[in-house]
Homo-oligomer: A and B are copies of this chain.
Amino acid sequence: MGKVTSLDVAEKAGVSRSAVSRVFTPGASVSASTREKVRKAAAALGYRPNVLARSLNTGRSRIVGLVVAYLENQFYPEAIERLSKTLQAKGYHVLVFMASNDNKATQSVIDELLDYQVDAIIAASVGLSSDLTNRCEDLGIPIVLFNRHQYDSQLTSVASDNIAGGRKLAEFLVAGGHQRVAHIAGWEGASTQIDREAGFLEGLRNANLPLFAREIGNFDFETAKEAARRMFTAAEKPDAVFVANDHMAFAVMDVLRFELRLRVPEDISVVGYDDVAIAHWPSYDLTTVRQPANRMVTATTNALFARLENPAIPARQIVLEGPLMIRGSARKPKEGKA
């Protein structure tokens, strides 16, 4: 059992423990000769400082807690991979916690995170009660919401401009001459859902078009399928549907094509939201609004580090616009119109 401590290195190098510590602390004052001695002894013994022990008195663990609800939607693995790599490059590491949308469970998950003395928390697609966030703020632990806003409290958050995105989709469908436009919603507690739908409805309203039908898919694949079945077995069907994210849009397209034998986009136009990798696979070729995952990740880590360095920085709601990706799953406007 070869645990090597700074004392072992100190003895071998003939110096004190703190000399060893200083060699491994950037910006500490050590002479070249001791540094060399310590380096050699450390290498010979295979010594590496114990991060946990260090964090005990520096008060910084260099651990960032990441709370995430589900990885089924491809958007999150993509984002997590980027987040983790970015943080890794800056010497931080990610402690992952799976949470449900259940508030009580989230509470205990955050508690456990705090037990680990994380330096900061990133909450992806999870709602946080305000007493929870207050507790974190009180401890000086910055929280950043990823791909979600909080309406009641002023939290730092990063999301795409879901209202504008929803509006763009409505305008696109309207320009394409659709008359009976429907919506399959995600989980109604999510700000992404609320904003996307609000923008979408606004876009329809501007064109004096009512929402023709509405079902709920809860951001879940199977639930979305059922929603699609209900929506498209009615006597009069929509001629276009905005599905609240790509993940559900694929489910809807499958039901339309393979169960109901309807053609997309000839019979029904389908648009989604996120622009995950599968969206541009030719089998789906989904018209959607891109969530700029890498810019969102960059903004998230920047906001995190900014608050880590200066806790006084006020909370900001960062909103990034993403482009409409026009592909083949929805009828396009005729020439001349934009």
Please report A residues at the B interface, Cβ cutoff 8 Å.
Answer: 1-3, 46, 48-53, 55-56, 61, 63, 66, 70-72, 74, 76-78, 80-81, 84-85, 88, 93-98, 111-112, 114-117, 135, 138-140, 221, 250, 253-254, 257-258, 277-278, 281-284
CB-based contact A93/B95 at 8 Å? yes
**Neighbouring B residues of A117 by C-beta, 8 Å:** 50-52
**Neighbouring B residues of A80 by C-beta, 8 Å:** 71, 96
**Neighbouring B residues of A138 by C-beta, 8 Å:** 1-2
**Neighbouring B residues of A97 by C-beta, 8 Å:** 84, 88, 93
Query: CB-nearest residue of chain B relative to A48?
Result: B115
Assembled-state Cα–Cα distance A53/B77 (Å): 32
CB-based contact B98/A81 at 8 Å? yes
CB proximity of A222 to chain B, nearest CB, Å = 11
Task: Given A76-B77, A117-B51, A277-B72, check contact A135 B283 (CB 8 Å).
Answer: no
Beyond contacts A56-B56, A72-B277: 5 other A-B pairs, Cβ-Cβ < 8 A, are A48-B114, A52-B116, A74-B74, A94-B95, A254-B283
**Neighbouring B residues of A66 by C-beta, 8 Å:** 96
CB proximity of A199 to chain B, nearest CB, Å = 29
Task: Given A46-B135, A56-B53, A96-B94, check contact A72 B77 (CB 8 Å).
Answer: yes
CB proximity of A100 to chain B, nearest CB, Å = 10
CB-based contact B78/A93 at 8 Å? no
Smallest CB-CB A-B distances: 5 pairs? A71-B77, A258-B282, A77-B77, A283-B283, A51-B115
**Neighbouring B residues of A96 by C-beta, 8 Å:** 66, 80, 84, 93-96
Assembled-state Cα–Cα distance A50/B50 (Å): 16
CB proximity of A41 to chain B, nearest CB, Å = 18
CB proximity of A164 to chain B, nearest CB, Å = 28
Assembled-state Cα–Cα distance A87/B191 (Å): 30
Query: CB-nearest residue of chain B relative to A69?
Result: B81
Assembled-state Cα–Cα distance A257/B281 (Å): 11
Assembled-state Cα–Cα distance A56/B307 (Å): 28
CB proximity of A202 to chain B, nearest CB, Å = 33
Assembled-state Cα–Cα distance A250/B70 (Å): 23
**Neighbouring B residues of A49 by C-beta, 8 Å:** 115
CB proximity of A179 to chain B, nearest CB, Å = 28
Assembled-state Cα–Cα distance A1/B98 (Å): 27
**Neighbouring B residues of A3 by C-beta, 8 Å:** 139
Assembled-state Cα–Cα distance A277/B138 (Å): 42
Assembled-state Cα–Cα distance A334/B243 (Å): 41
CB-based contact A52/B55 at 8 Å? yes
CB-based contact B71/A93 at 8 Å? no
Assembled-state Cα–Cα distance A66/B221 (Å): 28
Assembled-state Cα–Cα distance A220/B77 (Å): 16
CB proximity of A110 to chain B, nearest CB, Å = 11
